[in-house]
Every structure is written in C-alpha cells, then in structure tokens.
Structure 1
C-alpha cells in the first residue's frame, strides 16, 4: 500500500497571513500574498478555517513539475478517498510567476475562473507554461 502525505493547515495572523502546514513528513509555513491576490487568499483561508484541508492527501505529484493537494481526504479506517466539499470557484488573479517554490491554485482546463480547493507547489520553474496556460495560474504564495 502506498503511503499518503496528510496535511493539516492552520492560519497565523500577523502583518501578512501565514499558514502553518503540518504533514507526516515534516512541517512548513507559507506566507500568503494577501494584498496582491485577495480573492484567492480569502478562498484558501476559507478552506483552512472550515478545516476542509484537515487530512488532505497529496494526490498528484510529477517529478520536476508540481505536487498537488487539497482535493481529497483519506479515511485510514475504510481505506477510501473522499472529495473535499468545494466552495464556489474563485476569480483568477494571475499576478506572480509560477517559479520553483511558489504555490498556486489548480483549476479546470479551459476555465480560468474555476479554482476551488486544490492547490499545488511548483517543483520547478513552470513560468513558461503555467503563466500563460488557461489565462495563467494564480500564485498565492511566493
């Protein structure tokens, strides 16, 4: 059986919003781009505050591209995946480039304003592709 990476997020409010991410392979903080992508950050924090990111798994990981999460939780008792209950999609706010180490919202192909709960970490400089594909992907952490 493959191991799942479980995430738990909680907001820390200071001058900028920082979200503390706990995983079963290590913890980290992410500094959100509140002023530059306000709708996207508000959407992300809505999931955090509603605890919809509790026990989400990394469900997509492509070497030298992205690692994606925020879409599914894993029930260890039943061995099943459940989709995260999504809020309405958020408007696309592509301000920053999708370079290595940034975090951006995932969305449906052909619909730039379709981001809901799923997000990804850029494992490489994906700016040549993701800054233009589907009207760009909103980076909410840089």
Structure 2
C-alpha cells in the first residue's frame, strides 16, 4: 500500500522530480465508521486531470487526515430515497479531540482553485456527459463565484436525481466503488451545531452533521492510494499545486493588496462565514438554494 508522502520527503523529491502526469486509480478513505474507495476519473477523460491532480495533491500532502465529514444532507435517516449529498474536506478536528466537536475547527489548508472554465464565461469548457452527478459520483463543492471556485471540499452524490447539478458547474471526477460505508454514515444521527460556530441555524455548513455514539464526529483518519500505475507518484500533482500557489502569491504581492488574510479558523461566535464559502453554497449556487430548501421540508 502506497502511503502518503511526508513533508520532508516531498521537499526532497520536488527538487529533482519532473512534473509529469500522475494518475492514481483508487484512493481508500479510512474513517471511524468504516472505509470507502474512490475511483478517480473512471471515464478516462483527460479534461478531468486537473480535478484528479487537485485531490491527489491534498492526499499527498496529508491535508485530509483528521478532516471532518460535516454535512449529511437528507430529510429522514431511515429513508434513503431523500438522501442528497455527503460533504467533507473543509475542516480539521484538533489532535487530542480528533472526533469530538471543539470550540472551533481549523480549515483544511487550501490549494488554489481548480480551473474548469478557462474563458470565464461561467460555463465548464468541456463535455461532461460521460460522468454526471448521479449516485456515487464525486464533485468539488463550489462557492457562489462559479465553476472555478472548487478547492478542498468535495461531496458524494447520493441520488440519481442530482443531475441538475451538471448545469451549475459541478464537475464529477470520481466515483465511489462501494457505497456501503457512505450509506452507513447517512443513517447516523445528525446534529445542527451551527450556533456553536456563531452561524444561523439554517446555515448549510453545520446543519446536518453526522455523529456517532457520544457526540463523536465522523473523521477521515487517513487516505491511501491502493491501486495505481507502477510509476505513480504524488510528485507531479503536488509540484503543479505548489507552482500555482507561488504564481498566485506573486500576483497578489505585485498588486500590493493591503487586505488582511484569514487565519483559516472558524471560531465560536464569529459571524463571518466567509472562511467557509464552499459548504454554505454547495447545493446549486444562488439560483438553486430554494430548491434545496424545498427538498428538506
């Protein structure tokens, strides 16, 4: 089993490695409820490579370790027919209380946004009919800014009725091989803990948090590559991600922006939910939030 690279090893390899294409076949996510396997780019679409590289960079850097599954959107735990999405990848729990709700959670340190709309017309640049938002497929969560706002947060579709997301910039790039663990998580008790973070009770970020016995969070403990080409390496995706960050930082520096930067933490009592834009606008963007509300009544 190919383990994620340590930071020291990454730095060493990046000094000499070529940033060639790297395709991992299957990722295994280990949680405190069970494991699930994610097959990357099952359709073999080259247009999905930036999305594949994005998640490989997060995995290779270990940024999903001890991250929280924060949203299990459904209406009735006992009825799977109304399940919508299971979302994760935004927040880290604290070491020492890795599966309990603390006073605040730390944001997953984000890489740059994935570009799927290069011409900026608000539409994804390529055809996506080979893989759509149906049960078991995986897409990046987006903010209201459009298709190019996906970073660390992703969701698993739980219904074949989610194809309406195809027209709103959500691009599936993977699928879950066996949904047993996902369905088990969806059957857990859900809690609305938005007020604990100073958010309105209707805020989607922490409205439907799945918990196990004793108010324990559902946590991704580790992610491994379990099936890949013999020459697979995390180096290419990480190299490209770090290059993109360097370019973005250089651009921001040259513009001499004086705005303060976020600490990346969401503290209890904070009224500003701008540090977590993706979960709050996951559903369908501004035009479709009403539909989500109707689904949940």
Give the TM-score range, shorter chain. 0.7 to 0.9
| Structure 2 residue ranges without an equivalent (≥5) | 5-22, 75-82, 117-123, 176-297
**Residue 58 of structure 1 pairs with residue 93 of structure 2:** no
Q: Which structure carries more relative contact order (alpha carbon 8 Å, separation 6+)? A: 2
Equivalent of residue 101 in structure 1, options 129, 136, 143 = 136
The aligned residue for residue 93 of structure 2 is 74
Please list the CA deviations of residues 86-120 of structure 1 after superposition, one character each: whole Å capped at 9, or x if unmatched: 00100136722100111111111232111000000
Cα distance between partner residues in 2 of 1:118 and 1:128: 19
- In the TM superposition, 1:1-142 aligns within 5 A as 17-33=25-41, 35-36=44-45, 37-63=48-74, 64-75=83-94, 77=96, 79=102, 80-92=104-116, 95=128, 96-133=131-168, 136-142=169-175
Contact conserved, 2:28 with 2:38, CA < 8 A, in 1? yes
Q: Is the 8 A contact 2:134 2:163 kept in 1?
A: no
Write the distance in 2 (CA, Å) between the matches of 1:43 and 1:118: 11
Q: Secondary structure at the match of 2:133?
A: coil
Contact 2:72 2:86 in 1 (8 A): yes
Give the strand-richer structure, 1 or 2.
Answer: 1
Q: More helix by proportion, 1 or 2? A: 2
2 CA distance for matches of 1:121 and 1:65? 9
Q: CA deviation at 1:127?
A: 3.6
* Structure 1 portions without partners, runs of 5+: 1-9
- Return the offset for 1:140: 1.4
SS at match of 1:41: helix
Q: C-alpha separation between the residues in 2 aligned to 1:39 and 1:104?
A: 13
SS across alignment from 2:86: strand
Count of equivalent residues: 128
C-alpha distance in 2, partners of 1:66/1:77? Answer: 29
Closer, same or farther in 2 for the Cα pair 1:126/1:51, shift >3 Å? Answer: farther
Residue 76 of structure 1 deviates from its aligned partner by 5.2
SS in 1 for 2:93: strand
Please state how far the C-alpha of 1:126 moved relative to its aligned partner.
Answer: 3.9
Structure 1 residues 90-99 or 50-59, which shifts more? 90-99
